[in-house]
Amino acid sequence: MIRGGFIERNLKMIFTLPAVMFVVVMMLFPIVYTLFLSFTNWNLTSGMPLRFVGFKSYARVFSEPRFLDAIGRTFLFTAMCIALETFFGMAIALVLNRAFVGKGLIKLFLLLPLVATPVAVGIVFNLFFDPTIGLANWALGLVGLPKSEWVSSAATALPSLVLVDVWQWTPMIALICLAGLASLPSDPYESARVDGASAPQILMRITLPMLAPTILTAIILRSIDALKTFDIIFAMTGGGPGYASETLNILAFKYSLDYFKIEQASVMLVSLFVIGLASSLGIMKLRGSSEV
């Protein structure tokens, strides 16, 4: 009776225990362990025993120009991706919000980039951007534009990666915005049309303000993902040529598995976590103010 009564009283906790354990083991533990390693001297090539060194690893990493440049590239890559994906995603959503023939087929095609494996996408676009046999330069030649080196040049490598990311993830923004448009009330639009408002006025003064929380939610989701983009960059450039496309995630990978400097790689990953968390909280605060 006692055992049965205990189970009945704590039934909710018992059923949620597997999910809590999963979160602790698979999500919380890696974060805490990485934070712990960032305060140690764990270098796999030094032969020294693991010991606590405080903020020495942080001071070493924060004074490294390569680390600071990687942060700048991470922010630049994320900002370019989010700006373009939000603009084109919103434009596509506005078009698909109208009734026309073939609308369902276009929605189906929008899903194709989302289900593609990022590494496979990177390999395909490497062939597409090939300076000699790639279709990208062939298309430029058809319209009389000069050929580009795409990912082979330090000047164009990062913008080329942005184009690939925009191609793959703009449909996600479009589908989220399309769902938000479908949930908007019709009364404000009817009142605006009665008052003689033009289409641009309706868009700027009704649609975008009411859709702002949805757009900011999509930006939060994409910002978190774009900040930690690894697979496409690694598959296409590996951070090169030189360090031209080396973001913080790529740099941390190199420090851990190429240079075996686990303590410095942990500092970089902790920094990336803090940047992502701060960015998400800032956008969430902006989203909350837009709902007031």
Residue 128 counted as domain residue:
yes
Residue 21 counted as domain residue:
no
Residue 14 counted as domain residue:
no
For residue 1, the model assigns a pLDDT of 44
Confidence of residue 203 (pLDDT cuts 50, 70, 90): confident
Cα–Cα nearest to 245, from 111, 76, 83 = 76
Domain count, the chain: 1
Residue 95 counted as domain residue:
yes
For residue 21, the model assigns a pLDDT of 84
Residue 203 counted as domain residue:
yes
CATH number, domain of 180, equals 1.10.3720.10
> 90 lies in which domain range?
61-290
Those residues whose C-beta lies under 8 Å from the C-beta of residue 227, and which sit 6 or more positions away, are: 74, 78, 272, 275, 276, 279
Cα–Cα nearest to 136, from 222, 236, 227 = 236
Residue 56 counted as domain residue:
no
Confidence of residue 2 (pLDDT cuts 50, 70, 90): very low
Q: Taking all residues of the chain, what is their mean pLDDT, rounded to a whole number?
A: 87
For residue 15, the model assigns a pLDDT of 77
pLDDT digits (tens, 9 = 90+) for 118-171: 889 999 999 999 888 889 999 998 888 888 889 988 999 999 999 999 999 999
For residue 134, the model assigns a pLDDT of 87
